[in-house]
């Protein structure tokens, strides 16, 4: 799995892009690296983009991700959006968000739907 992130401190925005087969360890590594970045603020709005990534789709892995995310001292004041373009990945993302009980994360199919980081929920 590969990832890259951009931090727009002036816009209070983080964009994190993933590609390849996602793994729990890879997700943890990406968030650890992001947290160490001097411009990162956990209150920033956050867009996770999965243009050609294959999302994790097992209850055990989703539980491990939930434990990792809840162990971080991130405030949930920033808006969170997940972009999953393909039907299968969109469905996996919705299931994962339901299992993780992450009400504050919106999942959309396109970058255009992400504009303004709508708080209305998933498509």
What is the rounded distance in angstroms from the CA atom of residue 100 to the CA atom of residue 116?
24
Strand, coil or helix: 48: strand
Question: Which pLDDT score, from 0 to 100, does residue 5 have?
Answer: 94
Residue-level pLDDT at 81 = 81
**Residue-by-residue pLDDT tens, the chain, 123 positions:** 899 999 999 988 899 999 988 888 998 999 999 999 999 998 888 888 888 878 777 778 877 877 887 788 776 677 778 788 777 777 777 776 666 666 667 778 777 777 655 444 444
| 84 DSSP 8-state letter | -
User: Fold for domain 2-114?
Assistant: Transcription Regulator spoIIAA (3.30.750)
Question: Is residue 37 within 8 Å of residue 7, measured between CB atoms?
Answer: yes
């Amino acid at each position: 799995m590969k990832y890259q992130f951009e931090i727009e401190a002036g816009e209070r925005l983080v964009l994190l892009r993933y590609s390849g087969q996602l793994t729990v360890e890879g997700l943890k590594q990406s968030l650890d690296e992001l947290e160490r970045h001097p411009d990162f603020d956990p209150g920033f709005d956050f867009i996770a983009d999965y243009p050609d990534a294959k999302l994790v789709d097992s209850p055990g892995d989703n539980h491990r991700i939930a434990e990792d995310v809840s162990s971080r001292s991130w405030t949930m004041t920033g808006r969170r959006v997940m972009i999953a373009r393909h039907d299968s990945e969109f469905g996996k993302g919705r299931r994962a968000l339901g299992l993780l009980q992450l009400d504050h994360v919106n999942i959309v199919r396109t970058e255009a739907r992400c504009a303004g980081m709508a708080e209305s929920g998933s498509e």
